[in-house]
Structure 1
């Protein structure tokens, strides 16, 4: 086991997304997952049925005791729910893990449409967390909210990534899954250039937790010493294989097969679409 990842996010009672997906992804890739719960959800493959934010002092305590004892090689944030929680998380990261690699997954709305971030909290996310981020991993709707404008198809992904860089993160991984077409292209934008990953769309209902899983897999790679491009390549390969081999659970957007293993640390990924 190599690479300590502290995940600050919400719990998914259905086990397909959130903290549960994060722990599974980091474990499958050979890392150690520690957690600080920011919110509880009553959730299954059909949607989110209830949300209960964790009291901020207890969230701070979870982060403090883990970072002061175990430490972390990377951190990952997911569902943070409120501006007060975002401020607390940013404070604890700045005080106890300055300079640590941070993957920010700006979770805002569940696939079923339930809001997971209060509208008033978006400004706090931009102001407090984005400047701390090693990499920001928005999907298309999240990027549009952060920028306050629409993104014009695949050609707009790079421009949107560059605009998001201006908000403070050192890199932006623009995910293209919400765009139509048989090819899905993810775009990594940094100050040094752009990397694109086009791949055939996987036609499956096993899409619950893909964003959480990808972000945690990237964080695990960074914790294990991979550079960002290699960490993203391995994470994408892992998520795609987990989708291809999904167990078919539930009646809605089903969970991935998080137990699949793709090139644990520190190797580069297997072929993205094995025969």
Structure 2
């Protein structure tokens, strides 16, 4: 399936955001901005803008599997990324397809459960399927605190609780966890990268902005782009975090609600103009 050597190919299995701020659209932009090639298998269509999700249309699971198979059998992948999987049949189909078509390819799993505006993107009865089928396949999972609370059953209100939750997720058979602490109160944002070898702590000043729609999708895809280029996990995470912060600062200020990031922050317009 894959040819030798990392080439930056990322297959993204996730939902579409018609507003372009999150989902497949954010994934494609992040991977492209970091020098990779993004291929996709779309799991659901959403009618969405910066004010929220207004409708969801699931894609038939047979067609999701077909998208995965035809991409991997032709183009291949150096990393995989999953986002919105919506329900148990979709989770099962995606996991079966990835295990069959891309064994050994590192998977970044973003356990998407709720949209920024509060709309549920994962059916309640699908949480157990996600824990049982998806998490063991992942090289790293990237839950935020509300998602980690659902997965572990723990209340997370401070860094000590984050560490307990990360350890609980590892105990469930997860190989690595990037637990995102942006929901904690305070002026600093703390993320923890936990592996069986220990915990790496990342800390930055919290950016005050309403233009943070799609940060989770963007971060997970940026990590996948790094892994697809052969970066070790810790380096891929550090680079992805730096990219997301730069993209928040470069946000174009669109929409009336939670606006999109400036995914093209890595692009030099003057250089492009010079080509013309």
Same fold per TM (> 0.5)?
A: yes
Secondary structure in 2 aligned to 1:169? coil
What pairs up with 1:19-34 in 2 under 5 angstroms? 19-34=24-39
CA deviations on 1:105-145 (whole Å, 9 max, x unpaired) are 00000111110000000000000000001001000000000
User: Which one of 155, 169, 176 corresponds to residue 181 of structure 2?
Assistant: 176
**Cα deviation per residue 1:129-166 (whole Å; 9 max; x = unaligned)?**
00001001000000000012212312211111111012
TM-score where L is the length of structure 1 = 0.94
Match of 1:124 among 121, 125, 129: 129
| Aligned-partner SS, 1:51 | strand
Runs of 4+ in 1 over 2 A off after TM superposition: none
What is the Cα-based RMSD across aligned positions, in Å? 1.1
How far apart in 2 are the matches of 1:149 and 1:29?
35
Structure-2 residue corresponding to 1:53:
58
Give, in angstroms, the shift of residue 99 of structure 1: 1.3
* Residue 214 of structure 1: aligned partner: 219
Counting matched residue pairs gives 262
Q: 2:154, 2:165 within 8 Å by CA — same for their partners in 1?
A: no
Query: 1:75–1:102: 8 Å Cα contact kept in structure 2?
Result: yes
1:188-229 deviation digits (Å, cap 9, x = unpaired): 000011101110000000110000000000000000000000
Residues 206 and 255 in structure 1, CA contact (< 8 A), matched pair in contact too: yes
Give the equivalent residue in structure 1 for 2:19. Answer: 14
The equivalent of 1:239 in structure 2 is: 244
Q: Which residue of 1 aligns with 2:272?
A: none
Give the structure 2 partner of residue 267 of structure 1. Answer: none
Q: 2:75 aligns with which of 70, 75, 78?
A: 70
Checking the alignment, whether the CA contact within 8 Å between 1:86 and 1:124 is kept in structure 2 is yes
Is residue 2:110 matched to residue 1:105?
yes
Contact 2:178 2:191 in 1 (8 A): yes
Map residues 224-235 of structure 1 onto 2, 5 A cutoff.
224-235=229-240
Partner of 1:166: 171
- Structure 1 residue 30: deviation in Å? 0.1
Provide structure 2 residue ranges, at least 5 long, that are not aligned to the other structure: 1-5, 268-276
Q: Secondary structure at the match of 2:263?
A: coil
| TM-score (norm. length: structure 2) | 0.93
CA distance in 1 between counterparts of 2:157 and 2:205 reads 21
Please list every run of 5 or more consecutive structure 1 residues that lacks an aligned counterpart in the other structure: 263-275
In 2: Cα distance, 1:107 partner to 1:83 partner: 13
Please say which of residues 103-112 and 158-167 is displaced more in the overlay.
158-167
Match of 1:266 in 2: none
**Which residue does the alignment assign to 1:197?**
202
